[in-house]
Structure 1
Amino acid sequence: YFGLISFTLPQAAAIGIIGGADGPTAIYLSGKLAPELLGAIAVAAYSYMALVPLIQPPIMKALTTETERKIRMVQLRTVSKREKILFPVVLLLLVALLLPDAAPLLGMFCFGNLMRESGVVERLSDTVQNGLINIVTIFLGLSVGAKLVADKFLQPQTLGILLLGVIAFGIGTAAGVLMAKLLNLCSKNKINPLIGSAGVSAVPMA
């Protein structure tokens, strides 16, 4: 609650997912939890994803020492092709059993990963990674833009969404860095805490 601006619990949960810096996830969850805020949440999520190079570096530098930032990480082992193929299949089965509501979202992730790692649908994989993603992005932008009706978007509530969104984004980045530092206390192979910032989904910029 911020003076004249207040949110219900489902609305607050939808706004909080902005901290994950994942546009499609933010749109999906806000559509389920707070469809009336979908436009504003989508704008905030994609805006902060674009501002990753400005938002994350100060947080990362403030929470790490120069020595920690210079830690070199090595690959522990080579992951076999069988493991790469089994990963999306097993993940999708577990999600479908334990979190069926999230199955459509993670199912797309698993399907795309399987197409890439299987190596048997190179042409389809290339189309999905290039041409199709551009077309989907255009339609996604048009769909979200259609939700930005002036009488719903130009309100004090939108400022609250933008403010809470950047706070959530900062917390997400800080939590990833701090968790990496915590793991270093009990791990023989040291982890560069900066990799924790990639815990948010704004890749590859994160």
Structure 2
Amino acid sequence: MEIMLSALAQFQLSQLIMIVVGIVLIWLAISKKYEPALLLPIGFGTILTNIPMSAAIGEHGPLTVLFKAGIDTELFPLLIFIAIGAMIDFTPLLKNPFMLLFGAAAQFGIFVTIVVAAAWGFDIKEAASIGIIGAADGPTSIYVANRFAPNLLGPISVAAYSYMALVPIIQPPVIKALTTSKERKIRMDYHSGDVSQTVKILFPIAITIVAGIFVPASLALIGFLMFGNLLRECKVLDSLSKSAQNELGNIVTILLGITIASKMQGEYFLRPQTLFILVLGLVAFIFDTAGGVLFAKL
């Protein structure tokens, strides 16, 4: 009884608000099916984190231990990249390499957001971490934020996954504003063509070597992504490829989501900068879409 009364006495408004936020995230995951694999564990973890005297956090709490083992070491995001690599079929890109330019143009929002964030008062590392929300890639956002702005990891993660789920709502107005009705009705011709299995195998190896030579700092992310793709394309490790796509991806996603929530304590999360990050994340997605559409119109 004393413990219960002590816990109730320590309840703060910020903790209550964050518990409500956690419940809302769970509702969005279940009812609206918005990124349920991440928002549900993040939401539940937020509740665990904000209950007074919670044994889930603290020096020896399981969420703290998982954070140190999986996020501080960058292990969880890298394992997710193995799973993502095993899911990716690069055949369309190998058939039409010029399509890479469209993908590059669609990163325009990242740079716009970095500039705006820096002008808004964030330092360059924080601005870069916020800008990477525009990559529309949750694991990358987590990886970059943890490396350069760990104090912003919670809001950046929530913004990244929330806006990924809201792409069907965010993109159509931007696309309609930048294209005519006639342009939206254009039918693209399908160009069939085979890509040899040898090319598919050599591609991840070559990309890893090139990335390692020219951008060594990116080698962990790109290397793990390409390793996952090599598991897929080598055709002699089908069971491992399927395990990476399913079991590995699912387990690490659960751990990643509930662990990130340990950084969503009310006293740190409920700040004006969290709102700024949510706004800047939206800016990143809008300008990503605009950049890709305008480049395609050239």
The interval holding the TM-score normalised by the smaller chain is 0.7 to 0.9
Tell me which stretches of 4 or more aligned residues in structure 1 moved more than 3 Å. none
Secondary structure in structure 1 of the residue aligned to 2:121: coil
Secondary structure in structure 2 of the residue aligned to 1:143: helix
**Displacement, 1:147?**
1.3
What is residue 290 of structure 2 aligned with on the other side? 174
Task: State the percentage of identical aligned residues.
Answer: 52
**Displacement, 1:76?**
5.7
1:157 aligned partner, one-letter code: Q
What is residue 202 of structure 1 aligned with on the other side? none
**Displacement, 1:62?**
2.0
Residue 200 (structure 2) pairs with residue 64 (structure 1): no
Residue 159 (structure 2) pairs with residue 44 (structure 1): yes
Residue deviations 1:147-185, cap 9 Å, x none? 112211110110000000100111111111111222xxx
Question: Please, which of 7, 11, 21 is the counterpart of residue 126 of structure 2?
Answer: 11
What is residue 137 of structure 2 aligned with on the other side? 22
CA distance in structure 1 between the aligned counterparts of 2:296 and 2:195, rounded to whole angstroms: 22
What is residue 154 of structure 1 aligned with on the other side? 270
Superposed counterparts of 1:39-188, under 5 Å: 39-69=154-184, 70-75=186-191, 77-182=193-298
Secondary structure in structure 1 of the residue aligned to 2:207: helix
Secondary structure in structure 2 of the residue aligned to 1:103: helix
**Displacement, 1:79?**
1.5
**Contact 1:6/1:157 (8 A) holds in 2:** no
Normalising by structure 1, report the TM-score.
0.83
**Displacement, 1:96?**
0.9
CA distance in structure 2 between the aligned counterparts of 1:99 and 1:143, rounded to whole angstroms: 29
Residue deviations 1:79-102, cap 9 Å, x none? 211111111110010111111111
**Displacement, 1:112?**
1.2
Secondary structure in structure 1 of the residue aligned to 2:193: coil
Aligned length in residues: 180
CA distance in structure 2 between the aligned counterparts of 1:111 and 1:168, rounded to whole angstroms: 29
1:124 aligned partner, one-letter code: L
**Displacement, 1:71?**
2.7
2:194 aligned partner, one-letter code: T
Q: CA RMSD in A?
A: 1.6
**Displacement, 1:10?**
1.1
Question: Please, which of 150, 170, 190 is the counterpart of residue 35 of structure 1?
Answer: 150
**Contact 1:14/1:34 (8 A) holds in 2:** yes
Q: Is there any run of 5+ residues in structure 1 with no aligned partner, and where?
A: 183-206
**Displacement, 1:109?**
1.2
1:41 aligned partner, one-letter code: I
Which sits farther off after the overlay, 152-161 or 70-79?
Answer: 70-79
**Displacement, 1:128?**
1.0
**Displacement, 1:6?**
2.8
Q: Is there any run of 5+ residues in structure 2 with no aligned partner, and where?
A: 1-115
